[in-house]
Structures are given as C-alpha cells and as structure tokens.
Amino acid sequence: MENYNPTDRTRVRRLPKRAAYDKQKVHSILDEGFLCHVGFVADGQPYVIPTLYARGGDRIYIHGSAASRMLRTLDEGVDVCLTVTLVDGFVLARSAFHHSMNYRSVVVLGKARLVTDSAEKMEAMHRFTNHMVPGRWEEVRQPTEQELKATSVLALELHEVSAKIRTGSPLDDEEDYSLPVWAGVVPVRTTLGEPLPDERVLPAVKVFDVHRLANRH
C-alpha cells in the first residue's frame, strides 16, 4: 500500500500508534468528510476558517472565498494547514482522566496555490458539487464565465500528510474496573434529515432522494 512519507512536521509524536500515513486511509477520511478547517497566518496571527473542499487524486481544492483574509496574503502560495476531523464516538471511561473521543482526522501541510486557469476552476467546482451530492453537477446549471471569475479556488497538493485515528473502548486504569460505573462508547454519527424543498421547486420535479448522499457517508 502506498504511503505518504511523514516529515518532521507531520510525524505524529503524541500517541504515535494512532498515526496512519497510508494513502488509502487518508483518502477515505477525506472523501467521507466535507468540511475542513483551514489554518493560515496573517500579520502573525493564526486564523482557522471552516470551508468545503473536494479531493481529486493527490490534490485538494478548497473554496477560497471563505478566506478572503488568506487570499490577501496570497502571492506565490500561502502556507496552510488543512484539517478534516470525523467524530465517531464519545469514549466514557470510569475516571474523568481517561475520557476521550473516537475520531479520524487528517492534517495536510503545504502551500495553497490560487487556481487561475478557467478549466481547472471548472474542474474544482465540478468536484465540489459532486462531492456534496454525487451526480449533482450533471443536473444543475453549470457555472458561467462570470461565475468562475467570481469564485476563488485554492489547490493544495497532498504531500505532507498524516492521519490520526482512535477507535474502540476506553482504557481505564486496572483498579478502576471495579468501580460501579458504566463505561464504553456512545457512537456519534452524521445523519441526514428529510430534504426540505424551497418554495419554488416546479411541480413536475421529483422529490430529492436523500439516499443519493448515502454513498458519501
């Protein structure tokens, strides 16, 4: 299985047994998530902005519009950290100290590059749209030249990447197992509700099938 090479900056030091560098695992986390938190520095101050993203091979596209402050600092690329976290459960131990969370996270370090080429921007928007809802791009109106101009897109190569994963039961101190306290995992899931059409959907249009999003979760 192919791996990302950990660097001094991406090697997981704390609890290294939770670390993963293999591409398949990293990609599966990135493909299941849809929200990332992008960190960048402006005037010495770190900022962390939530935004949508999509992956294409070893590249991530992010909506730059959510980070206009970042774009102002962008010249030949801006140093960013892009983090995606999927929460899988609350881990309830017998002691306060051992409470934890089951999760899968990916951290990507690198220089984000402003996408200026129209065709690549179109490609990125295609991926954003179909990452949210598979097949959506093919049924909606696609971007005009003007809309492409109005959209800021950043590209970030998957090169310096690590994943961190915690699974399973709490790990209590041996003597605490005799305590009469419930301990285990409460699963946390991202679920979808009943689709709510807006007021102007045409009468002939079929109800949106929420199962179309099941493939992505």
The phi-psi region of residue 57 (left if phi > 0; otherwise alpha if psi is between -120 and 50; otherwise beta) is left
| CA atoms of 24 and 129, how far apart (whole Å) | 22
60, 115, 125, 154: which one contacts a second copy (CB under 8 A)?
125
| CA atoms of 61 and 54, how far apart (whole Å) | 5
Q: Residue 199 corresponds to which amino acid?
A: E
Kindly state whether residue 210 participates in binding a second copy, applying the rule CB under 8 A. Answer: yes
| CA atoms of 183 and 170, how far apart (whole Å) | 7
DSSP state of 152: -
Site for a second copy in 14-73 (CB under 8 A): 14, 34-35, 37-41, 44-50, 52, 65-66, 68-69
Please report how close the Cβ of residue 23 comes to a second copy at its closest, in angstroms: 21
Kindly state whether residue 214 participates in binding a second copy, applying the rule CB under 8 A. Answer: no
Please report how close the Cβ of residue 69 comes to a second copy at its closest, in angstroms: 8
Please report how close the Cβ of residue 1 comes to a second copy at its closest, in angstroms: 25
H or E element: which one contains 113? strand 100-114
| CA atoms of 64 and 150, how far apart (whole Å) | 11
Q: Helix, strand or coil for residue 202?
A: coil
Stretch that binds a second copy, among 8-16, 23-31, 53-61, 113-121 (CB under 8 A): 8-16
Beta-carbon contacts of 112 under 8 Å, excluding residues fewer than 6 positions away, are 38, 40, 62, 70, 74, 77, 78, 80, 82, 154, 155, 156
Kindly state whether residue 167 participates in binding a second copy, applying the rule CB under 8 A. Answer: no
Kindly state whether residue 76 participates in binding a second copy, applying the rule CB under 8 A. Answer: no
By C-beta, is 3 or 7 nearer to a second copy? 7
Kindly state whether residue 114 participates in binding a second copy, applying the rule CB under 8 A. Answer: no
20, 54, 74, 80: which one contacts a second copy (CB under 8 A)?
80
By C-beta, is 1 or 205 nearer to a second copy? 205
Stretch that binds a second copy, among 21-29, 54-62, 113-121, 145-153 (CB under 8 A): 145-153
